[in-house]
Copies of this chain bind each other. A is one copy, B any other.
């Protein structure tokens, strides 16, 4: 999850000085409306790895917002006597902000289960159960007019190490909000968090990741998110706990899709040998006895004309035709429309020892259906969780889920479209729809970025494939599948 959180981001001092006053004004104006109209209260959870600057960001919020209506509630891992003698959620209930007010929560209800899980005091079932309780609590809050915003401040482990080292030398060190001091490595906290975020990023209260490598863009991203969320919620119907769709908040929005290095190429001279090598590997793996206890589901998504079909043909060549099926997914039939959108995929699941390859997939819900408005925002927002759940069910039933995103540039797409129009035997591949979709390139890129951030799970990560060079893409696809299969078998 949150692939784009690890993309580099930085804001120059002059950029910050240009952005900050406008954001400050907008944030204050939004808060003022919440204070005046009192339609809801706001809880801002600040969590994340040590050294990411949680305290500094909170200090910044206090500079920016009207502090008469802003409270910071910090909770210690070690409860007070009065807290220990009451239910765990009691202290959070006690300090719940009244409508119109905003509360910054440090040391939230996530801290104890997260820490206990990392330290091994809580097993997977217990952790899931604790998270389910949290979901119910947050859903109650969302329905009872509390806007719950959950921020996770993330840092690359390497960056964290450097930062903690540098901070040690300074007096400022005491300002670090140290929640994970007894847990050595940032990635432990991050892994536990990602697991929790999978279950608790609900439409009512999604997690938002703040890449915190650069302090200035960190604060701008945080402020923007709060401002946007307040504004959206002010505009929404009273009973509609609307969510914030951004899952990774940053100043310059770069999606995981934009960041794919499209310059990757494979020289023609090496293509055949490499392809044959990986195809042979694949043939060897699916021939193994262990493969008979494994189901395989492969999904292909990507830009139009990115070469999904060609890649699929290379992928299936080493497979026994009796043991795989390719499903080309287009507009749903009348019967399919009469069922939940996931139905046509559930009913096509392979049994063990078999493979199902989907040329376009259930991700249509959060791509074409989102962009074209075939479903409501609430529908595609909840689809992320539904899809993660679907793939978790597959994983639990020993089915390997491999997902490819094939990316090309806008110019390359144009060239391929034109080539298709000019080549008689390729004309069937290009339709008016393709040209129409192309006009919405940016909307599709945004949808793809959100999709990758929200549905790259440990069980079923996305493989992002540069497809500007077809040879590179085809080999990369087969190779990636081989690697995933090797891990699984």
Contact = CB atoms under 8 A, between A and B. Distances in A.
B339 A382 contact: no
Nearest to A145: B340
Contact of A351 (B82, B99, B347, B396): B82
A343 B93 contact: yes
Contacts of A341: 144
Nearest to A135: B132
A338 interface: yes
A94 B346 contact: yes
Interface residue tally of chain A, by bracket? 35 or more
Interface string A22-44: 00000000000000001001000
A255 B342 CA distance: 41
B98 A339 contact: yes
A338 B397 contact: no
Contact of A352 (B85, B93, B396): B85
B239 A87 contact: no
A11 interface: no
A183 interface: no
A146 interface: yes
Nearest to A131: B132
A85 B339 contact: no
Contacts of A346: 89-90, 93-94
A259 interface: no
A85 B88 CA distance: 41
Interface stretch (A122-130, A242-250, A270-278): A122-130
A128 B140 CA distance: 19
A81 B352 CA distance: 10
Closest 8 pairs between A and B when the two form their complex, measured CB to CB: A144-B340, A93-B346, A98-B338, A125-B125, A87-B397, A85-B351, A85-B352, A87-B393
10 contacts: A41-B339, A82-B351, A85-B352, A87-B393, A87-B394, A87-B399, A96-B339, A125-B126, A129-B132, A136-B389
